[in-house]
Structure 1
Amino acid sequence: MTFNAKLKKKQYKEIWEEYCGFLDMDIQAYMQMQHRLMDEQLKIWMNSGLGQQLLANKRIDSVEAFRREMPFTQYEDYADYLLQKRDDLLPAPAVLWIQTTWEGGCNPIKRAPYTKGMLDAFSHNLLAAFVLSRTTEKGVFHMSSFETVLHGFAPMPYLTGLIPLVMSDETSLELVPSAKVAESLSFSEKNKLGFKLGLSSGIDYFFSMGSVAYHISKSIGAMSSKKSGKSSGSKLPIRVILKVLRANARCKKENRELLPKDLYNLKSFICAGTDNARYKDALEQMWGVRPLEIFMGTEPTCLGTETWNRDGMYFFPDACFYEFIPESEMLKSFADEAYIPKSYLMDQVIVGEKYELVITNFKGGAFARYRVGDVYRCVGLSSIHDDTKIPRFEFIDRIPTVIDIAGFTRITEKSIQRAIDLSQLSIVDWFAAKEFNEEGHPYLHFYAEISKDSIASHAISAQVVKDHLTIYFKYIDHDYEDLKKILGMDPLLVTIVRCGTFRNFTLKTGAIMQRINPPSYDISAFLNSQNTQYAYDLREEVSHG
């Protein structure tokens, strides 16, 4: 029986137990499920060509032995097999392949196989998130069999392309606009059509990346003003025109801008992607509904969800086997590639600790002890408010060696260096950090030291560096270009430091500045080192316009 059939029969208790029953588990029951599914996965994974390659033909008979013998992996360990779609090496047949960005400018894409069991789990857990987004207290939710979903999904072969498939198989939820229509439209056209259709049909759910939702929500006022004008009035029903006019008049009287909540009576808001915490408050103010955050990834599938209290995400016990590398161990492994970091299981995490996530796919998936590249903080081992007895987490960011801006980029040292090399700028040394503006939104801050000759000859400035790097970032990384095209944001800020600053920092601290996301205290010490005898300031000779 489908989800929708159960909903029509008002089998609310059965729906809750099937989709959200994991919230009733204690940690012992949770770990029992983790180990049972891991035992099943090991039996097929060890006998696959991929498993034999990665385990070097070792035979293991338990989860404990697997964690001892199997090294941590990254996508490089799978690339030769998965990029070629080597089905013959997989633990179970791939029903379809999902694609995403790997490392912008250096390694364009990653591919991940999805088995029938993985798709079933993805569908099940996504529907659990939909239920929880409409839950008011444990076991109590309000959904009807036919509702509308405004969406900002990328189509297949991206992971979000699975969402319309899940909806069509299990529910009567109507996408606005439909997936078929959306495929033929640009991002801007899809948004305009979705909001226009939503004015007539209503919008029950809004499902998008937080950064995307923020950008398009900010544009609703302008779009609605145009829709109420004479040029477009004939294309909208009279009742819709009146609705828009009344909302505009009310906002004018209250001396404020038009907000989405003035036009739409949203019942549920779901956000996926990174940096959602930076947009939640603003989105709640604009829509009148606080977003429920879920986490999905190409390799780990649909991983976790918040509940009705919006106070931390719970990892689904049937998506993956979870291991957690403490932040201190993670940093040691980045400083020394030969170092093998310690990892802990779900029943060993500590409140307040940050962890790099490691997953092993269930249901015949390919990835084993895979370092996803995401960092979470454990915010509780139980919750009085949710009446739960399992850990919950908040997403912090990507690992420190990667700069992710609003879920659109995977900027690394290699990709920045490639852009510098292509630009042929006279950059002596540099580092880059993810920082946040006054609104709390992320951007890429690039600090550069330029050769004395280039500064003295007025051949280069911060604006020149920015213009060159922007061109080459867009050339080598299409996701970076989307930040401007889709979100309307310029993510790059360039600061040129005094000549000798990098040398002086090393003399004072005995360390070389970390290229990507150095600690904030290092950045502070670095900038302070400009004001010393070792730093030669030629910037006054340069006109920055």
Structure 2
Amino acid sequence: MKFEEKLKKKRSEEIWNEYCGFLDLNISEYMGMQKRLMEEQLFLWGNSELGKRLLKGRRIHSIEELRESFPLTTYEDYADVLLQKQSSMLPGDPIIWIQTTWEGGKHPVKVAPYTQSMLNTYKNNVLACMILSTSTEKKKFDVKATDTFLYGLAPLPYATGLFPRALHDEVSIEFLPPVEEAERLSFSERNKKGFKLGMSKGIDYFFGLGSVAYFVSQTLSKMTSGSSGKKGSSIVSLSPRILLRYLKAKRICKREGRALMPKDIFDLKGFMVAGTDNHCYKDELEELWGVRPMELFAGTEPSCIGTETWTREGMYFFPDTCFYEFIPESEMLKNMEDKAYQPKTYLMDEVQPGEKYEIVISVLKGGAFMRYRVGDVYRCMGLENSEDQTKIPRFQYIDRVSDVIDIAGFTRITESAIQTVVDLSGLDIAGWFASKEYNENKKPLMHVYVELAADSLASQAVGKEILKEHLTVYFKYVDHDYKDLKMILGMDPLQITILKCGTLAEYENRYKKKIRKINPSTYEIKELLQLQTSRYAVQKEGIRYE
């Protein structure tokens, strides 16, 4: 029975129990499901050619044995098989391959296979996300087959493109614009067409990266208020219901002396955001739409793995998508210092409130990835929650792992990518490091600290604006996702500070260590910047320092 038929024939409580029942599990029941599914996956994976290759001829008979003897993996371990799409080597037959950026400047793309069983699980879990996005309390939700959905998603082959395809098989929710049309349109064209249709039909749901949802919401605000230069151009296409709301909202906004917002016109039922940096946008999105966005987590390799509930107080991981392990922060730091070190992992029933963890997944239902480091860090917020009556851990998404700078869910900038940009620029740069930081509006940026060579002719004249302009050209060339930040979101994420010549060497001499190239601690950056005024730093006439 399709979800749409269930909405007609089943009681709300039955539907809730089917899709959101995992929230009623205690930790023992949750781990029982995890281990049963993992044992099935271990059998499939261990007997596949991919599994045999990675196990190097060994036979693994239990989850405990796997965790003791099989090391954690990264995409490099799978690349030769997956990039050539060698389906015969995999534990399950792929129905579709999903694509994303691997590492800008070094590896163009990575792909991940999805089996039919994985797609079935994905479908059930995105329906759970829809239910929860409209819920106000346990077993209370508002989903109808006649609802409309503003299309704010990247199309296939990206992972978010699966979302509307999965819903299409289950319920007649109308996407604005229709999926097949939306996939042919540019980002700007999709926004304009979706908004035009929304003004006629109304908008019930909105889902996108937090940064994209914020940009689209601001665009809608400008268009509805007439600040786009086309005031009243959409009035003729408004439905009577929307027209009445529009005229009433205009009067209220004029009286209150503020711009029109989407919440003044649309009565959004469900609002979902994914990706990184959502904490930078949630408050403003709630103000614009009148609904607090519900955060969920999905990725190319893990699929859709986690969702918040009506409380918006942390994400719960679906027990049937992946088998989860967690690297505690102390082990992450050891591994950063020694790349050969194999960090210890904890299971879901071993995590502790307040602690930060890097997540490790084994994809269930015939997936390719085993003990795979996705590259995302979470904080455990609690083991139980009386407000939503759960007895399983919940998590807050923190960011990518510290050796990656991800801006607004678009970039994966690494040390090698920045070094490539520096090399291509031709500038005589003696040293650099980069940090993800936030501007005065609490929006993310990449702050690159640069030291020019003391004897360089360029160092006599190069200021930070010239350096920024020069490096930006090469960041766009090396990383196409970086280019999309400006093209799609209008963001300029690069900030430059020019260090006095000799600062990096003095830091190393004084503290007997080199500063981390990517995301050094705030304390380390403060230590280094204090050297700017020390007698050891050589000042070169003509350089404009900060």
* Pairwise TM-score range, normalised by the shorter structure: over 0.9
1:484 counterpart residue number: 486
Aligned residue among 310, 316, 319 for 1:317:
319
Counterparts of residues 492-503 of structure 1 (less than 5 Å): 492-503=494-505
Q: 1:229 to 1:416 in 2, by over 3 A?
A: closer
- Structure 2: how far apart are the matches of 1:517 and 1:326? 18
Conservation of the 8 A alpha-carbon contact between 2:149 and 2:205: yes
Instruction: Determine the structure 2 residue equivalent to 1:504.
Output: 506
Residue 54 of structure 1 is matched in structure 2 by 54
Which amino acid in structure 1 is aligned with residue 173 of structure 2? L
Matched, 1:45 2:42: no
Superposed displacement of residue 476, structure 1: 1.3
Change (3 A) 1:172 1:37: same
Q: Which amino acid aligns with 2:107?
A: N
In structure 2, what is the equivalent of residue 521 of structure 1?
A: 523
Question: By how many angstroms is 1:508 displaced?
Answer: 1.7
CA distance in 1 between partners of 2:432 and 2:499 (Å): 9
* Of 294, 303, 324, the match for 2:296: 294
Give 2:89's aligned residue.
89
Task: Report how far residue 398 of structure 1 moved.
Answer: 0.2
The residue that corresponds to 1:417 in the other structure is 419
Structure 1: any 5+ residue segments left out of the alignment? Answer: none
| 2:15 alignment counterpart | 15
1:513 partner letter: I
The structural deviation recorded for 1:259 is 1.1
TM-score (norm: length of structure 1): 0.97
Q: What CA distance in whole angstroms lies between the structure 2 residues aligned with 1:448 and 1:468?
A: 13
Check whether the contact 1:456–1:541 (CA below 8 A) recurs between aligned residues. Answer: no
Contact 2:151 2:190 (C-alpha < 8 Å) held by counterparts: no
5+ residue gaps, structure 2, are none
The question of whether the paired residues in 2 share the 8 Å contact of 1:228 and 1:241 is answered with no
- Aligned mates of 1:333, 1:5 — CA distance in 2: 51
Displacement after TM superposition at 1:199 (Å): 1.1
Q: Which residue in the other structure is 2:171 paired with?
A: 171
Moved more, 93-102 or 185-194: 185-194
Query: Displacement of 1:235 after TM fit?
Result: 5.2
Alignment of 1:366-515 (within 5 A): 366-454=368-456, 458-515=460-517
- Deviation by residue 1:147-179 (Cα, 9 ceiling, x = unmatched): 001121111111111111111101111111111
Q: Deviations over 1:202-257 (max 9, x none)?
A: 11111111111111111223212448957835752484566544433321221112
Q: What is the distance in 2 between the residues matched to 1:327 and 1:231?
A: 54
Q: C-alpha displacement at 1:457, in angstroms? A: 6.0
Cα drift, residue 511 of structure 1: 0.9
Q: Secondary structure of the equivalent of 1:137?
A: coil
Match of 1:236 in 2: 237
CA contact (8 A) 2:498 2:544 kept: no
Identity rate of aligned residues, in percent? 56
How many equivalent pairs are there?
543
Counterpart position of 2:264 = 262
Work out the CA distance in 2 between the residues paired with 1:59 and 1:543: 62
Q: Is the 8 A contact 2:199 2:234 kept in 1?
A: no
Q: Give the CA deviation at 1:78.
A: 0.3
| Aligned residue type for 1:258 | L
CA distance 1:238–1:109, change in 2 (3 Å): closer
1:542 positional shift: 3.9
Q: Report how far residue 494 of structure 1 moved.
A: 0.5
Supply the AA of the counterpart residue of 1:259. M
Aligned mates of 1:136, 1:188 — CA distance in 2: 33
User: How far did 1:45 drift?
Assistant: 0.6
- What is the alpha-carbon distance in structure 2 between the residues aligned to residue 301 and residue 270 of structure 1? 16
Is 1:137 equivalent to 2:137 in the alignment? yes
Q: 1:178 to 1:509 in 2, by over 3 A?
A: same
CA distance in 1: counterparts of 2:456 and 2:200, whole angstroms: 59
What does 1:155-166 correspond to in 2, within 5 Å?
155-166=155-166
- Report the counterpart of residue 536 of structure 1 in structure 2: 538
Q: How far did residue 35 of structure 1 move?
A: 0.5
Q: Distance in 2 between matches of 1:398 and 1:51?
A: 27
Write the distance in 1 (CA, Å) between the matches of 2:459 and 2:143.
67
Partner of 2:136: helix, strand, or coil? strand
Structure-to-structure mapping, 1:92-111, within 5 angstroms: 92-111=92-111
Match of residue 214 from structure 1: 214
Q: Distance in 1 between matches of 2:171 and 2:366?
A: 26
The alpha-carbon deviation at position 535 of structure 1 amounts to 0.4
Match of 2:279 in 1: 277
Equivalent residues of 1:228, 1:245 under 8 A apart: no
Match of 2:117, SS?
helix
Tell me if the contact between 1:454 and 1:460 (Cα under 8 Å) persists in the aligned partners.
Answer: no
1:74 to partner: Cα distance: 0.1
Say if 1:456 and 1:490 are closer, same or farther in 2 by CA, change over 3 A.
Answer: closer
Task: Please give the per-residue CA displacement for 1:287-345, whole angstroms capped at 9, x wherever unaligned.
Answer: 10000000001111100000010000000000000000001101111210111111010
Deviations 1:391-425 (A, max 9, x none): 00000000000000000000000000001101111
Name the SS for the 1:344 alignment partner: coil
After alignment, is 7-16 or 293-302 more displaced? Answer: 7-16
Alpha-carbon separation, structure 2, partners of 1:230 and 1:345: 56
Greater displacement, 450-459 / 288-297: 450-459
Superposition deviation, residue 455 in structure 1: 6.3
Q: Is the 8 A contact 2:142 2:269 kept in 1?
A: no
Q: Contact 1:292–1:310 (CA<8 Å) still a contact in 2?
A: yes
Q: Kindly report the root-mean-square deviation, in angstroms, between the aligned alpha carbons of the 2 structures.
A: 1.6
Moved more, 467-476 or 394-403: 467-476
SS at match of 2:455: helix
From the superposition, tell whether residues 237 and 397 of structure 1 become closer, same or farther in structure 2 (CA, over 3 Å): closer
Alignment of 1:144-155 (within 5 A): 144-155=144-155
What is the match of residue 35 of structure 1? Answer: 35
Task: Work out whether residues 223 and 230 of structure 2, in 8 Å CA contact, stay in contact via their aligned partners in 1.
Answer: no
Q: Quote the Cα distance in structure 2 between the aligned partners of 1:92 and 1:326.
A: 31
Distance in 2 separating the partners of 1:85 and 1:457:
48
1:198 counterpart SS class: helix
Q: Cα gap change, 1:360/1:452 in structure 2, threshold over 3 Å: closer, same or farther?
A: same
Give the Å deviation of 1:382.
0.4
The whole-number CA distance in structure 2 between the counterparts of 1:90 and 1:161 is: 23
* 1:501–1:306 distance in 2 versus 1, CA, 3 Å: same
Most deviating of 455-464 and 256-265: 455-464
1:181 corresponding residue in structure 2:
181
Higher mean displacement: 299-308 or 503-512: 503-512
The answer as to whether partners of 2:468 and 2:495 remain within 8 angstroms in 1 is yes
Distance in 1, matches of 2:243 and 2:473, equals 43
Secondary structure in structure 2 of the residue aligned to 1:541: coil
